[in-house]
Amino acid sequence: MAVARAGIDCHLGRYPACEQDTGKKLVDHEARIRGLERGRWPLPSLALIISALALMIPVVSTLTKK
């Protein structure tokens, strides 16, 4: 019963330590998300570049044919 009460008090913001812990978790969570985003951004960009080149090759070959 005491554990449940402490959990409720923590969620209501009655314990400053809970707020600090939540802040640390939020900062850690944001850092992990930023790391994942940095690792994934080149894939869509690379796909766009490759598809643009794939479209340009037939156009250029058609225009240069005599």
pLDDT in tens, the chain (66 residues): 555 555 565 655 566 666 667 778 888 999 999 988 887 778 888 999 999 999 999 999 999 986
Residue 19 near residue 13 (C-beta atoms within 8 A)? yes
Instruction: Give me the pLDDT at residue 5, please.
Output: 59
- Give the dihedral sign, CA 24/25/30/36: positive
Instruction: Give me the pLDDT at residue 58, please.
Output: 95
Residue 9 near residue 15 (C-beta atoms within 8 A)? yes
Instruction: Give me the pLDDT at residue 53, please.
Output: 97
| Amino acid of residue 38 | R
Q: Please name the residues in contact with 15: beta carbons below 8 A apart, sequence gap of 6 or more.
A: 6, 9
Would you give the DSSP letter of residue 41? T
| Structural domain for 17, as ranges | 2-64
pTM score > 0.95 for this model? no
Number of domains into which the chain is organized: 1
Instruction: Give me the pLDDT at residue 9, please.
Output: 59
